[in-house]
Structure 1
Amino acid sequence: MAPQDALTGWDENATAEAYEAFTRIHPMYNVTSLDLAGRAGLADAGLVVDLCGGAGATARAILGLVPDRARVVSVDSSGAMQRVGRRSLSDPRLSWITAPAEQLDAHVPAGGVDAVVCNSAIWKADVAAVFAAVARVLRPGGRFVFNIGGGFAGVHHPDERTVRTGPSLNTLIHLVAARDHGYTPPPKGTDTAPKLPLETVTTELAAAGLALVETEVTAQHGTMAEKKAWLSIPVFARPAGGGFTHAQRMEILDAAYSLTTPDTPTVTSWLVAVAQRPVDTP
């Protein structure tokens, strides 16, 4: 299998199948989905959008909180992810739209959406265009709830320092790749600036006419076994560079994982944001 990346590799059957299997076996995406859905104020919602919804993990969490009369629309640009999702998630309240997040407003009514929820994906979109589309579809008072990985947002929960016991699996992967495969890691300090810090989020939300009403840095606790399973998904496999095939990356992952123990605790930080279309918006 040729290497894939986390921006362009989602519309592949192998990625979709691996991702769906991960969400079924491991709690990571289900936990973050429940967290975001719980912040969206869904008790009286009539129409909710699961943006960049993938195979439906977040839609499942939303469906558990909305009324029976509500409609949920899962929007994603990957037909492969949605095909997998349709197999495992069948609910008459849920519909699937294959489209880029930036084109959300072409598929749902302007001013008719009670909440938009986006789990783990806003960083890979055109943020300004997505925020503008979300602002157009939200009703006055409607909520936009999303999260950004700590590395992309430049935030770290204190638990990262107190819980971690040894090097991360990513660190070990790069060490093994350098030791056994001649891989040269990028120089230290290369591309270390956060891709989507809170300052940028706040500025872009304001430009779209949305108000940031809540932020929190959360910690998600897992294990090294879960991290290995996540890094086995083709779009997340490491090292990202070096010209390795997926098979070679899995070989490196296995060697790095052998230097750990399955129940070694891991911590992932998230920046969670809740924005709102102002009530007095015309």
Structure 2
Amino acid sequence: MAPHDAVLGWNEDTTAQAYEAFTREFPMYGATSRDLARRARLAESHLVVDLCGGAGATAKAILELAPATAHVISLDNAAAMQRVGRRTLDDPQLTWVTAGAEDLACHAPAAEVDAVVCNSAIWKTGVPRVFTAVHTVLRPGGRFVFNIGGGFAGVHHDDEKSAHPGPSLNRLIHQVAARDYGYAPPPTRLAPPKLPLEAVAAHLSRAGMDVVDSEVVAHRGTVAEKRAWLSIPVFARPDGDFTHAQRMDILAKAYALTTPDAPTVTSWLVVVAERPTGWP
């Protein structure tokens, strides 16, 4: 079963506004977007897709690196996210398309896209269909660049192990929820990761693309940034039958037990794939 933030809630104004405010105040999405855009090699691009583009943080990074003559399509199925993005990123080079990632091939010309970039969202899509759609729109030699959260990919950056001298904010949230609300966390199961590199490479190969690079990278933040991220409704914890107000009460009490500027590290698996020049 996917986490409760996989699909639900993204098309709500409260989520969209909180998400966009987070991207303005904290560096995570801006930094990860710039990293992906750099790897996409956009210097001579004409058409680029920001897949699952949300409120436009990645489109902004793409526009900063792509030529002034390039066009960017930001595709996302949450109209609320795009409404927020349109207000903050009004650029004649950018077209907003409200559609699911699986339907990309219906909204971009076949074999004409120089690069497809997807930040933080591949895990919540129908991966085989999306990869097939990406192959359809990419030109031969075009790049598909995306990242997967460490938990979903089953990877951990070395810096992650040394960044948490005490209990994590997530663990404190569970402790406070148990103390104040009788919350019983589900039993911990050592389930295999949902999207390890081996599975990703196999899906890409079946879709007609090759992995040309992969790297485990770290985003370094603070507990204060983590708190702000967990304040976004779709990311709020714990799971279960809680109202958002109750989750925010739990978060505030857990955060009070932390040091706000204590360092945190989030691991990401970054994958760079290409459509081979000789593939039909």
Q: Same fold (TM over 0.5)?
A: yes
After TM superposition, list the pairs within 5 Å mapping 1:29-44 onto structure 2.
29-44=29-44
- Counterpart residue number, 1:240: 239
Q: Does 1:230 align with 2:229?
A: yes
- Counterpart residue number, 1:261: 259
1:203-241 superposed Cα distances (whole Å, 9 cap, x missing partner): 100000000010000010000000000000000000022
- Counterpart residue number, 1:218: 217
- Counterpart residue number, 1:49: 49
CA distance in 1, matches of 2:140, 2:243: 48
Q: Could you tell me which amino acid in structure 1 is paired with residue 197 of structure 2?
A: L
CA distance in 2, matches of 1:17, 1:204: 34
CA distance in 1, matches of 2:181, 2:11: 29
CA distance in 2, matches of 1:201, 1:6: 18
1:165–1:264 CA contact under 8 A, matched in 2:
no
1:277 Cα deviation after fit: 0.1
1:144–1:276 CA contact under 8 A, matched in 2:
yes
1:168 Cα deviation after fit: 1.1
1:46-99 superposed Cα distances (whole Å, 9 cap, x missing partner): 000000000000000000000011000000000000000000001110000000
1:171 Cα deviation after fit: 0.9
1:53–1:76 CA contact under 8 A, matched in 2:
yes
Deviates more, 1:193-202 or 1:128-137: 193-202
1:165–1:265 CA contact under 8 A, matched in 2:
no
Q: Could you tell me which amino acid in structure 1 is paired with residue 144 of structure 2?
A: F
Residue 252 (structure 1) aligned to one of 240, 250, 253 = 250
1:134 Cα deviation after fit: 0.1
- Equivalent pairs, count: 277
Q: Does 1:63 align with 2:79?
A: no
Question: SS where residue 65 of structure 2 aligns?
Answer: coil
Question: SS where residue 64 of structure 1 aligns?
Answer: helix
- Counterpart residue number, 2:269: 271
1:274 Cα deviation after fit: 0.1
After TM superposition, list the pairs within 5 Å mapping 1:53-132 onto structure 2.
53-132=53-132
Unpaired segments of 5 or more residues in structure 2? none
Deviates more, 1:7-16 or 1:48-57: 7-16
Q: Could you tell me which amino acid in structure 1 is paired with residue 275 of structure 2?
A: R
1:268 Cα deviation after fit: 0.1
- Counterpart residue number, 1:172: 172
TM-score of the superposed pair, with normalisation by structure 2: 0.97
CA distance in 2, matches of 1:60, 1:85: 10
1:21-64 superposed Cα distances (whole Å, 9 cap, x missing partner): 00011101000000000000100000000000000000000000
CA distance in 2, matches of 1:52, 1:97: 10
Q: Could you tell me which amino acid in structure 2 is paired with residue 134 of structure 1?
A: V
Question: SS where residue 163 of structure 1 aligns?
Answer: coil
Q: Could you tell me which amino acid in structure 2 is paired with residue 244 of structure 1?
A: F
CA distance in 2, matches of 1:221, 1:60: 21
1:6 Cα deviation after fit: 3.5
CA distance in 1, matches of 2:57, 2:250: 29
1:252 Cα deviation after fit: 0.4
CA distance in 2, matches of 1:185, 1:54: 31
1:5–1:240 CA contact under 8 A, matched in 2:
no
CA distance in 2, matches of 1:154, 1:174: 22
1:10 Cα deviation after fit: 0.3
1:163 Cα deviation after fit: 2.2
Percent identity between the aligned chains?
68
CA distance in 2, matches of 1:195, 1:231: 22
